[in-house]
Amino acid sequence: MILSGELSSGEQLSEEALADRCGVSRTPVRDALRRLEAELLVRKNDSQRSLVADWSLGDVADAFELRAMIEGYAARRAAERMDDATLDQLRSCNSAIYEAIKRARPDVQGFLDHNKRFHELILDAADSRRLTSLLGSLIEQPVVWRTAQHYGREAFNRSHSEHEDLLAAFARRDGPWAEAIMAGHIRRAFHAYADAHHGLSAIDRGAA
């Protein structure tokens, strides 16, 4: 929604103000707030007023650790259920990732799109509604995705090559291996995020 970056942490969200801003009534705004609450992007203070949730670095670390475990489980299930057609899709998806990052000036948006699709394909292959639901709420972290803007070449390359390792595990239908690789993949993505985040914080401090 519009609040993916436009609103600052802790800011009050009046239902009526948002409704005016979006040109709709309060009813659909309330619906949207309920969903965002479920995803912890919005929280309520003691008196039931909605606020933009504030995410500390520790909170993000926590979310990534959970994502590592859960998406690792997804990879395990996916490996056990993998069919050749899906495997082909994953391969071409990772090729597209390579195309996006191989040039001197990487196509960051292209990387993000194909990367998202890569992980979604795995999630679909795992074939678990519960997983899909849980991960959905963990993956929607606009802050994190924007951080990819600051990835270095080695971070892009690492991501691509770890996907290749994952494909090898899928090809062997090796669930435990796929789980281990995926969990490590996510945890390293967090480290890249944390580095970039601290870098950003430094920049922000410098600019202020």
Binding positions for a copy of itself, rule: CB under 8 A: 27, 30-31, 34-35, 38, 40, 43, 59, 62-63, 65-66, 69-70, 73, 128-131, 133-134, 137-138
Task: Determine how β-strand 42-44 pairs with β-strand 12-13.
Answer: unpaired
62 binds, among DNA, a copy of itself, none (CB under 5 to 8 A by kind): a copy of itself
Task: Give me the least distance between CB of 20 and DNA, in Å please.
Answer: 10
40 binds, among a copy of itself, DNA, none (CB under 5 to 8 A by kind): a copy of itself
169 binds, among a copy of itself, DNA, none (CB under 5 to 8 A by kind): none
* 92 binding DNA? (CB under 7 A): no
> Tokens 């009050």 label which residue?
12
List, in order, residues 6 or more apart from 140 with CB less than 8 Å away: 39, 41
CB-nearer residue toward DNA: 31 or 99? 31
15 binds, among DNA, a copy of itself, none (CB under 5 to 8 A by kind): DNA
